[in-house]
Amino acid sequence: MAIQYIIMKYAYLLMVAFFSVLFIYNLFTQKSLAKQIGCAILLIPFLLRLFLLH
Amino acid sequence: MSENNSAKKGCGNFLTGLILAAALGAAIFTVGKEFRYQFNVEPIYKGPGVTSVKMLSDYNPFLKGTNGDSKVYVLDSGKPGGTFIIMGGSHPTEPGGLLAAVLFVENAVVTEGKVMVVPHSNNSGFSTCEPGLGHVPYFHIATPSGKVRYFRYGNRGANPVDQFPDPDMYLHYPSGQNLAADEIRNLDRAHPGNPHGLLSQQIAYAFNRMCWDEGADMIIDHHEAPPEKPLVNAICVHQKGIDLTSEMALALEEQDIKMRVEISPIPLHGFSHRELGDYTPAIAFLSETPNPSQGSARGVTYEELIIDGKDEVYRHLLEDNLLKVDYKSEGVTLNERAGRNVATDLSLAEIYSDLGEDARNEYGGYPKALGELNPDAALKIDGAKALEMLAKGPEGENRKIVITNMPSYDDIMQNGIGRYLRDADATAEEIEAVKKAAD
């Protein structure tokens, strides 16, 4: 139970944080403005989940 | 050609990324602030009878830190007696039950036994509204000092962000009964709970544990229902409390309150009146009052509809004889609905105290494989011992529950519910004065 709880709570957040970092990296390094906007839009649910709904 | 294309696309740089990041941050901050506000729990002030405040996570530690954890107000007389648990807000779309529980927390003084009140039983559900139903998220009631208290009108089930996604079909634990998918977030379909389940089942399990740990004699779950539903102005009771409830209904008749007694159907699983009666020593009840603001036939839903309970569409249906249940053309006010719940609880406590050992009906319909089926393994009570405790009820000679300092149904109808709501916790002087008067 304890392992399941830890996986549910922390591993999930870790995955969300990992993808958020990838998108943030892309947001600053992309040469295409359209792709940067796409990254910013994609980041919205990830950051909301990371900071607000955990 | 390809060089031209890449030149056109290459207008993004670190600066544009920075601008987008700033815009994203501002949007998330603004939206997030509004979103987080939904999770605030309205203040409930401690009345003169509150001796301590526990949490549901004290009974099920897995709830700690989750949106399902909720305050349990303990009104302990310090004298021997029975224990009565009052659940409000099992369905956060049913404010009559919530307000009745709040009235107990803010007014009641217990002189024998113990009363435990959970106004936000399904705390998660209070943090969101039900999508597509056009409900108002808050309603307001003025107190005698002129201040205005706000209360949340939430979702019937738990917040989907706390328990997602809903399955295609909900199989109730431990019965295995099939229920509609979204009922998996419904606290009143999750009893007797599961310590390894989803949030609603975890909350239900906390109530299960509370009944055992506190040696509960009775537990009542306050509900409301749309006026077109048959189970309104009624109390549903587990087989252990048929005599007690029948006497209560007669006592309420003397106060001109009609309360129909319904017996909890044995094969209907997940309900508090069924499972808490079957799986804990407590006698389980569920009360229902009519609430037009949650009915599907209602017109436009304003805050006034929650408080005044007056709806034009229901009035027309009543005039055309299309309603088969109790609904008055002048509306069903929140005062009346909360007052009915208060009168029911007070009457149950009084009659249970009067009847003593005779209050409990014999009942042999417990699940046969109790030790295997229920979360009893986690309760660390062996099946035989559990069955014995269920049949006998909590031990101890004096099981009286005496509640004082509560407004009667007539008081609430006459003065309004706001008259009995507080603006701050009770002071030491007030507690002393009320206790002297109660003695």
Encode pLDDT of B269-322 as tens digits: 999 999 999 989 999 999 999 999 998 889 988 999 999 999 999 989 888 888
User: Is A31 in Cβ contact with B20 (below 8 Å)?
Assistant: no
- Top-level CATH class of B47-438? alpha beta
Half-sphere exposure of B291 (CA within 13 A, CB side): 28
Distance CA A26, CA A41 (A): 12
CA distance B20 to chain A (A): 7
Comparing CA positions, the residue from A51, A54, A50 lying closest to residue A16 is: A50
Confidence of residue A2 (pLDDT cuts 50, 70, 90): low
pLDDT, averaged across chain B = 90
**Which helix (H) or strand (E) is B114 found in, with range?**
strand B114-118
Residue A35: is it exposed, middle or buried by C-beta count within 10 angstroms (0-12/13-18/19+)? Answer: middle
For B14, B18, B175, the CA distances from B27, given in Å and listed in that order, are 20, 14, 46
- B330 falls in which pLDDT band (50, 70, 90)? confident
Express each pLDDT in B194-239 by its tens digit. 888 999 999 999 999 999 999 999 999 999 998 888 888 999 999 9
pLDDT of residue A54: 47
Which residue do the tokens 């139970």 mark? A1
> Where do we find the tokens 């209360």?
B151
Strand partners of residue B252? none
Work out the burial of residue B109: count CB atoms within 10 Å of its CB; fewer than 13 is exposed, 13-18 middle, 19 or more buried: buried
Q: Is A36 in contact with B35 (Cβ distance < 8 A)?
A: no
Distance CA B344, CA B198 (A): 32
DSSP string of B141-200? EE-TTS-EEEEE---SS--GGGS----SSEE-TTT--EE-GGGGG-GGGTTT--TTS-HH
Of A5, A34, A36, the CB nearest to B17: A36
Instruction: Judge whether A2 is closer than 8 Å to chain B, CB to CB.
Output: no
ipTM exceeds 0.90: no
pLDDT band, residue B115 (cuts 50/70/90): very high
Q: How far is A28 from chain B (nearest CA, A)?
A: 5
DSSP B296: T
The answer to whether the CB atoms of B35 and A24 lie below 8 A apart is no
Chain A CB within 8 Å of residue B52 CB? no
Work out the number of other CB atoms within 10 angstroms of the CB of residue B179. 17
Read off the pTM.
0.88
Binning pLDDT at 50, 70 and 90, where does residue B7 land?
very low
* Whether B35 contacts chain A with CB within 8 A: yes
Q: Give residues with Cβ within 8 angstroms of B66, minimum separation 6.
A: B57, B124, B162, B199, B202
Pairwise CB contact (< 8 Å): B21 & A32: no
Q: Confirm or reject contact between B165 and chain A (CB < 8 A).
A: no
Name the residue ranges covered by the structural domains of chain B: 1-37, 47-438
pLDDT of residue A52: 64
pLDDT digits (tens, 9 = 90+) for B239-265: 999 999 999 999 999 999 999 999 999
Q: What is the pLDDT of residues B24-48, one digit of tens each?
A: 999 988 888 888 888 889 999 999 9
| B122-173 residue pLDDT tens | 999 999 998 888 899 999 999 999 999 999 999 999 999 898 889 999 999 8
Tell me whether strands B218-225 and B83-87 are parallel, antiparallel or unpaired.
Answer: parallel
- Over pLDDT 90: what percentage of chain B? 69
CB pairs under 8 A between A and B: 55
Q: CA distances (Å), B418 to each of B102, B137, B354, in order? A: 11, 19, 31
B37 CB near a chain A CB, below 8 Å?
A: no
Query: Looking at residue A53, what is its pLDDT?
Result: 59
Report which secondary-structure segment, H or E, holds B262: strand B260-263
Residue type, position A42, single letter: L
User: What confidence score (pLDDT) does residue B99 get?
Assistant: 98
CB B15 within 8 A of CB A38: no
Instruction: Give the mean pLDDT of B410-439.
Output: 92
The DSSP code sequence of B401-430 is: -EEESPPPHHHHHHH-GGGG--SSPPPHHH
For range B70-81, the mean pLDDT: 96
**Helix and strand tally (H, E) in chain B?**
14, 14
